[in-house]
Amino acid sequence: MSSRTIRIGLCGLGTVGQGVWKHLSANRSALEARLGVRIDLAKAAVRDPRKVRAVTVPAGKLVADPLSIATDPTIDIVCELMGGTGLAKDVTLAALHAGKIVVSANKALLCEHGAALFAAARKGGGRFFFEASVAGGIPIIKALREGLVANRFKLIYGILNGTCNYILTRMASEGAGYPQILADAKRLGYAEADESLDVEGWDTAHKASILAYLAHGVWVKTPHMIVDGITQITQADLKYAATLGYGIKLLAVITRDFERNELFVRVHPTLVPKDRVLANVNGVFNGIAVMGDVVGTTTYIGRGAGQDATASAVISDIADAIVLLTTGRDITPVATTAGVAELLSVPVQPLRLSPLERIRSRYYVRTTVKDRPGVLAQIATVMARNGVSIESVIQTTAERPEAASLILTTHESDEKAMRATLNALGRLKSVVEKPLLLRIGDFSE
C-alpha cells in the first residue's frame, strides 16, 4: 500500500451519509487493500450537529458549514449527500471549481443543472460522479456508460422509484392504506425529504433525465416529459388490473426514434403484463430493461432506495475517484451527440424531443357513471367519435348510490385521441367522477 491518504468529506449525514460513514468505516481495511491507499473520513457537515445519530463521529470532524468542506484544500473527495437544489448546488460548484472530485446522490440537482455541473467540472479540472443518483444500489450508470458502450439505445424503461414501488406493492398485496404505507416508506429511509417528489413522479422523472443523458447525450427537463405519479391509483385499480392480467408499476420510458432523430421521455403508472419480469419486481426494488442494438435486452434488478443500497453506490464512486486520483485512470466519458458527431466527422443533427401526443399505447380508463340505461352506449359513442376502439369492459357497483364503476381497456390509440376522449367523457352528465387514464405497457423484453 502506498503511503498516500485520501481525505473524504461528507456533506450530509442523514440516511445516505450515515450509510456511507458506517460501511466505509466497517470495510475500510478491505477497501484500502484493494485500492492501495489509506482512507480518512475527514469531515462531515450537517444542519444540526447536536442531533443524535446512529454513527459515532469523532469530535472536531462534525461541522455545520458544508461549503467549508467543499473549499478545504486538504479534502480530495467531496460527497454531496444533503439533497435539494440550493445549497447542494453551491457546494457542488464550489468543489468542482476547486478541482475536486464530487460524488453525488442528488438526482434533482443533476436533472436541473447537469449541464452546468459538467461544464464547471471541465473548467475547474474537477470530476462529477453520480452512480447513486439512479436506482439505488443497481450499477446502472456504470452499465450504460461502460458495459454497454458499444450500443445505441432504442428503448430504456423501468421502475426507478423505490418508494412508489413499495407503496404499490403493499397496496396490492396487503390492502393496507396509502397513508400508513407512505409513513413506513419514510421511516425506512426510502422517501425523499419532500415525499411529493416520489409519489407525484418527479423523482422518477429526474432519474429518467439522467438515463436519457447517458444514453443520448442530451438533457431533457421535466416540462418536456409526461410526468404522472401514483396518487390517483386506488386499491380498486390494482385489483381490476390484476383481474385483467396486469400489475401496476410507475415506469420511466425513454424511447429513441433513430430515423426521425427524436426522443420521448415519459413517466407514468403503467399496466405491465403479469408474465413480464418488471411486473414481478416488488417492494423497494427497482428494475430497468435496456434495449441495445448490439447486445439486445439486458435487465437490472436490485434495491432502489434505502441506506445500505445507496451507500453501496456512493462507495463505488468513491473507489473510482480514488483510482482516478492515484493512477489517472478515468471512467468512460458520456457520449454526447456532439461528441459522437465529431468522432465520426459528420454534422451534428440536433436531437428533437417528440411531440408527446404522438405516443401510441393501449389504455385503461376507470370512470364512475350513473347506473342508468343507455349510459354504456353514450360512453362507447364518445370513444368511437374519437377513433378509440374498446377492447374490454368491466362494470361493477360503485361506492356511491345508483352509480357504477366502468373499467375499459382500449386497442392501440394515441395520446391526442385519448385526451380528447377523456375531455368529452368528463362533459357527459352521466359521468359522475373524473375518469382516470392509465397506459398499458406491452414492451417486449
End-to-end CA distance of the chain: 45
To ligand HSE, the closest distance from the beta carbon of 366 in angstroms equals 26
To ligand NAP, the closest distance from the beta carbon of 179 in angstroms equals 20
C-alpha cell at 414: 394515441
> Could you list the active site residues?
207
To ligand NAP, the closest distance from the beta carbon of 13 in angstroms equals 4
x-or-dash string of contact with ligand HSE, 146-185, rule CB under 6 A: ---------------xxx----------------------
* CB closer to ligand NAP out of 128 and 364: 128
386 scored as a contact of ligand HSE (CB under 6 A)? no
228 scored as a contact of ligand HSE (CB under 6 A)? no
Bridge partners of 74, per DSSP, are none
* CB closer to ligand HSE out of 191 and 263: 191
192 scored as a contact of ligand HSE (CB under 6 A)? yes
191 scored as a contact of ligand HSE (CB under 6 A)? yes
Q: Alpha-carbon distance 274 to 405, whole Å?
A: 23
Alpha carbon distances (Å) from 254 to 20, 24, 236, 355, 391: 31, 35, 29, 14, 26
203 scored as a contact of ligand HSE (CB under 6 A)? yes
Residue choice 72, 80, 131, 198 for contact with ligand HSE (CB under 6 A)? 198
To ligand HSE, the closest distance from the beta carbon of 253 in angstroms equals 17
Interior angle at CA 210, CA 157 and CA 352, nearest 5: 80
Q: Which does 82 bind (CB under 5 to 8 A by kind): ligand HSE, ligand NAP, none?
A: ligand NAP
Bridge partners of 404, per DSSP, are 369, 397
305 scored as a contact of ligand HSE (CB under 6 A)? yes
To ligand NAP, the closest distance from the beta carbon of 299 in angstroms equals 20
Q: Which does 283 bind (CB under 5 to 8 A by kind): ligand HSE, ligand NAP, none?
A: none
> Which positions touch ligand NAP (CB under 6 A)?
12-17, 45-48, 51, 66, 81-83, 87, 105-106, 132, 136, 189-190, 192-193, 305-306, 310
Summarize as ranges the residues that interact with ligand HSE (CB under 6 A): 136, 161-163, 190-192, 198, 203, 304-305
